Structure 1
Amino acid sequence: MRYLQPRRKARIEIVPMIDIMFFLLVFFIMVTLNMIPASGLDSRLPGSSSAERLEPPQIVISLDAAGLIRVDQRDLTLGQLAERLRAQGRETRVVIAGAEAAALGDLVAVMDACRHAGITRIGIATREPGA
């Protein structure tokens, strides 16, 4: 005599799917945070009442009060900056985000490095007065 076993219903496991969705969420958040230019820069930009909005830059050069030059969260010398800009091409848009306490000589040196690399589209980041 043969006994029939009851058929089991197929189950869809949700827990692995939720794990995958959380992994994707964390991945996209991390990628988005790395896409924000000069993220984590601790500087106070100088104010300007006549500043104009420019198109988004391709490279943001950060200059702090101590004269440290930073691009994409990497410290560079003026020579390394010029080489990197040369590799980008002449039509690259550059914005210099200098701290309010940065020395004028350091700003001029960064602008000279940009000009020696052939870059002519240079902007200086500012904030609105009172902001």
Structure 2
Amino acid sequence: MKVSSPRRHRPRLEIIPFIDVMFFLLATFMIMSLAMVKNPGVAVQLPKAQTSASEERKEKEVTLTITDKGDVFFDHDKVSTAELPGKLAALKAEAGPDKAKVFLNSDRKATFDNVVGVLDEIRKQGISKIAIQTERAEKAR
């Protein structure tokens, strides 16, 4: 009596779990890289605007923050209105006339007079690239 040996089948490679793991790793790295982006400004309650858009940050940029009490911060350093022109002039000299960029960050409860005063000082120094930061507002339905 002849006994036949069972046929050997090649093992199946399951690719679906491999794809799931790769997508999980991709999503994790994307979320972690987004969490690494830091805003150098002081935390304030930004006004909301439906036309908000994100801006890319480069090296020769600074965030000017105006708090609800009227304090002005140059990145994280508190500056007086007398010190602000010198800091802006140094930024423009370091970056070049066309490359200096200022992100204007203002608390929604800050007075319009304070915001316009800082904006006017930025323009007096010849810096024309100014981005006013806002939060995206929910669309009314």
Q: TM-score range by the shorter chain?
A: 0.5 to 0.7
RMSD: 1.8
Q: TM-score, normalised by structure 2?
A: 0.61
Give the equivalent residue in structure 2 for 1:56.
57
TM-fit CA distance, 1:60:
0.3
| Cα distance between partner residues in 1 of 2:67 and 2:39 | 18
Q: Is the 8 A contact 1:65 1:99 kept in 2?
A: yes
Q: Is the 8 A contact 1:79 1:113 kept in 2?
A: no
Gaps of 5+ in 1: 1-32
Q: Relative to 1, partners in 2 of residues 1:124 and 1:36: Cα closer, same or farther, differing over 3 Å?
A: closer
Q: Relative to 1, partners in 2 of residues 1:36 and 1:124: Cα closer, same or farther, differing over 3 Å?
A: closer
User: How many residues are treated as equivalent by the alignment?
Assistant: 95
Q: Is the 8 A contact 2:64 2:104 kept in 1?
A: yes
Amino acid at match of 1:52: A
Moved over 6 A (4+): none
How big is each residue's C-alpha offset from its partner over 1:13-37, in whole Å with a ceiling of 9 and x where there is no partner? xxxxxxxxxxxxxxxxxxxx9x751
Report the identity percentage.
Answer: 21
| Cα distance between partner residues in 2 of 1:53 and 1:68 | 25
Q: Give 3-state SS (helix, strand or coil) of 2:73's partner.
A: strand
Gaps of 5+ in 2: 1-35
Instruction: Name which one, 1 or 2, has greater alpha-carbon Rg.
Output: 2
| Cα distance between partner residues in 2 of 1:120 and 1:127 | 22
Q: TM-score, normalised by structure 1?
A: 0.65
